[in-house]
Amino acid sequence: MAWEMDKGRGLGQGAGMPHDHHDHDDPHSLLPSDPALRVKALETLLTRKGLVDPAALDEIIDTYENRIGPRNGARVVARAWMDPAFHAALMEDATAVVSDMGYYGRQGEHMVAVQNTDAVHNMVVCTLCSCYPWPLLGIPPGWYKSDAYRARAVREPRRVLADFGVTLPEETAVRVWDSTAEVRYLVIPKRPEGTDGMEEAALMDLVSRDSMIGTALAGKP
Amino acid sequence: MTRVHDMGGRFGDGPVIPEEEDVIFHADWHPRALAITVAMGPLGQWNLDMSRHAREGLPPKDYARFSYYEKWLAGLANLLVETGVVTRDELTGEVDPAPSPLAERAMPAEKVAGILAAGGPADRPSNVDAVFAPGDAVVTRAFAENMAVPGGHTRLPAYAAGARGRILRLHGAHILPDSNAHGAGEAPEPLYAVVFAASELWAHPEHPGDEVVLDLWQSYLAPA
């Protein structure tokens, strides 16, 4: 029945994907119910079919566990604080600027940087899934993927900020960016007072992951 | 009607629980689930929009009880069977797995870094001209639904359907997920950041100056 209702198939060149399954149980339900065993079963099956090289899986995990993470984004922010020309270029074309630093790749193909000021505080969410700038911030934290954050960030960002211990002044407006497409947003937090003349490494220490999502402010020196 | 993943604005989810920066995975099997899913992409049997739709099309009762990586695994298992890469009997273990004709496309360890670094940009040349400019007033379509496929994929959240906003910037032309998720072609068209006053979206906005920005395709929008 689902297939007959899928009129979209007639509009395209290719075969339409069924979007509901009424004739069978979902294939995923054929796997073991314990998720750890489910992963194991899939990996074993795909390896035996020649579709997965377990060494490649190790390499993917190592990349996101050890090589790509929020220190990448922190370096971008520290440079933007230190160098007005870099900052201007970042605001103009963030993809090009972070690519030059080696921070291009999967889930970060189209970057936009947004600057926090006294007037506007930016905050990023993905209400439909959990889109996130992986090359700059790594794997999204658990809370970013949670129903609570996805549901609440757009409707009551200030109460969400309160969950993080952040209170904004009355004169600061909140602008929430819901990442509904392939564009990924990096928040440039306000540079804290008393950081004049600090080196890049010291500034980076003040830039938390959460401050680049917009659920925290930059740390104090 | 919407699907269960479209939860922006929903009430009742409780507090957001912050987490230390060095926590990357929450269970031993999470990194494996991530890696298997990433490794299947280069087989070329589905695109990014299809894989999103596979997760978001899960029955609400499954979507709600599954953790993040369980949704990934479920979407992956469904896609593997739907595209014929794996059979149902192979999934249950009732038959010995047959070697796959796609094995030559399997990602070798030495190519992982290059593939992850190359990414998969979604911008494309398009013959659809941008009809809006920054500052233009627009209204989103009334239905947060795929206009061609009932229950199909779309990126207009329900909370922003039928809302009046203003064009903030043009991102260029991007693949249209509503088409690409159903194998109906990439159909690239202009993509905009559109800004909405919180008071346009919510009955009880927290602050008169607050705004929400969404990335929306031109076909989601009409002049206001």
pLDDT in tens, A29-49: 999 999 999 999 999 999 999
DSSP B73-92: HHHHHHHHHHTTSS-HHHHH
ipTM comes to 0.97
The answer to whether the CB of A57 falls within 8 A of the CB of B35 is yes
Rounded distance between C-alpha atoms, residue A121 and residue A109, angstroms: 24
Comparing A17-21, A112-116, A179-183, B76-80, the range with the smallest average pLDDT is A17-21
A177 in reach of chain B (CB within 8 A): yes
B86 in reach of chain A (CB within 8 A): yes
More confident site: A13 or B184: B184
A101 in reach of chain B (CB within 8 A): no
Q: Which residues in chain A are contacts of B27 at CB distance < 8 A? A: 35-36
The pLDDT confidence band at residue A25, using thresholds 50, 70 and 90, is confident
What residues have CB less than 8 Å from A95, skipping those under 6 apart? A104, A109, A110, A111
Beta carbons of B27 and A108 less than 8 Å apart: no
Structure tokens at A1: 């029945």
Structure tokens at A122: 């930016």
For B29-118, CATH gives 1.10.472.20
Residue A2 pLDDT? 36
Residue spans in chain B of domains classed CATH 1.10.472.20: 29-118
Rounded distance between C-alpha atoms, residue A98 and residue B29, angstroms: 31
Q: Which residue of A has its CA nearest to B4?
A: A128
Which pTM does this prediction carry?
0.94
Active site residue A33: no
Q: Which residue has the tokens 């993509």?
A: B191
- A194 min Cα distance to partner chain B (Å): 25
B176-to-A18, A215, B126, B215 alpha-carbon distances in Å: 18, 30, 11, 12
For B137-223, CATH gives 2.30.30.50
Q: Which residues of chain B have pLDDT under 50?
A: none
Q: Which residue of B has its CA nearest to A172?
A: B209
Residue B2 pLDDT? 74
Averaged confidence pLDDT in chain A? 91
pLDDT > 80? residue A7: no
What residues have CB less than 8 Å from B14, skipping those under 6 apart? A148
What average pLDDT score do residues A187-205 get?
97
Residue range A89-124, pLDDT digits in tens: 999 999 999 999 999 999 999 999 999 999 999 999
pLDDT > 90? residue A163: yes
Beta carbons of A28 and B73 less than 8 Å apart: yes
Rounded distance between C-alpha atoms, residue A198 and residue A61, angstroms: 34
Q: Which residues in chain B are contacts of A39 at CB distance < 8 A? A: 29, 32-33, 36, 73
Q: Which of A44, A23, A40 is nearest to A32 (CA)?
A: A40
Residue spans in chain B of domains classed CATH 2.30.30.50: 137-223
